[in-house]
Structure 1
Amino acid sequence: MPEPVVLSVFIIDDNETTRAILRMIIQGENYHVIGEANNGISGLARARRLRPDIVCLDIEMPDSNGLDILIEIKQTLPNTAVLMVTGNNDRATIVTAIQRGASGFILKPFNSGVVLDTLNKAAAFLKSHLKK
């Protein structure tokens, strides 16, 4: 029986509490949190260096717009799934994020079931593309 694939996750969010909650929910037998950043600029640099399978990316941060960071991540790491973390679920934001390559959304306030379900959907997509 093959070993289960553990996917690496990187968290970019300016809110320390949000990062801590996401880390506690995500870290487990299927996912390993390999790092985090409290702003988009340093998060982008670290994600490029660490090359995670999945990035959880806040949309609204003081130093940068997550939608712009999304473009940069997808250009540099096209095989990385990016999950947008946001309290803003207006249609224009969602459409823009999808057009720019977002793989899914974690809407605030969130719970562990929603976060893990979103991660599992992204993981299933990644695993199906890794086999090809």
Structure 2
Amino acid sequence: MARTNSPKILIVDDNDLMRALLRGILRSESYVVIGETKNGALALEFIEKEKPDIVFLDVMMPEMDGLEALQNIKSKYPQTVVIMITGNPSVENVQESIQNGADGFIVKPFNSAKVLDTLDRAWQVA
């Protein structure tokens, strides 16, 4: 499957400020943010309709956390690039994310260089 130059991105985080910060970083580099949701359950509904290329997915969220959402996304849409975001980079979270197919991992608080570097690497490998 050919990759487009500008991937469609979904941001999933229950923190409004984190979503806004990430959106600003991505848009400053001309990435296309096609949507945002506050939890994994809403993210799965959005992914089914819009088929984003890349999902930035917070680990800790209400209703359905990022690790459960990651399993669902990768089982239904294995080609989707998923980059996990967390403020609690425990060994367990990192290991479980990798085992479940995460394509990258960003620790909060993040900076634009880290976000863009992780995104570029994950997108090139995908």
The TM-score, its normalising length taken from structure 1, stands at 0.88
What residue number does 2:85 align with? 85
Cα-Cα RMSD: 1.3
Q: Is the 8 A contact 1:11 1:55 kept in 2?
A: yes
Alignment of 1:1-132 (within 5 A): 5-126=5-126
**Cα offset, 1:47, TM superposition:** 1.4
**Cα offset, 1:28, TM superposition:** 4.4
Which letter does structure 1 place at the counterpart of 2:18?
Answer: T
Counterpart-to-counterpart distance in 2, 1:44 and 1:105 = 19
Unaligned stretches of 5+ residues in structure 1: 127-132
Which letter does structure 2 place at the counterpart of 1:65?
Answer: D
**Cα offset, 1:39, TM superposition:** 1.5
**Cα offset, 1:30, TM superposition:** 5.0
Q: Is the 8 A contact 1:5 1:30 kept in 2?
A: no
**Cα offset, 1:40, TM superposition:** 1.4
Q: Percent of aligned pairs with the same residue?
A: 46
Q: Is the 8 A contact 1:48 1:76 kept in 2?
A: no
The ranges of structure 1 where at least 4 consecutive aligned residues each deviate by more than 4 angstroms after the TM superposition are none
**Cα offset, 1:42, TM superposition:** 0.8
Unaligned stretches of 5+ residues in structure 2: none
SS in 2 for 1:27: helix
Aligned residues: 123
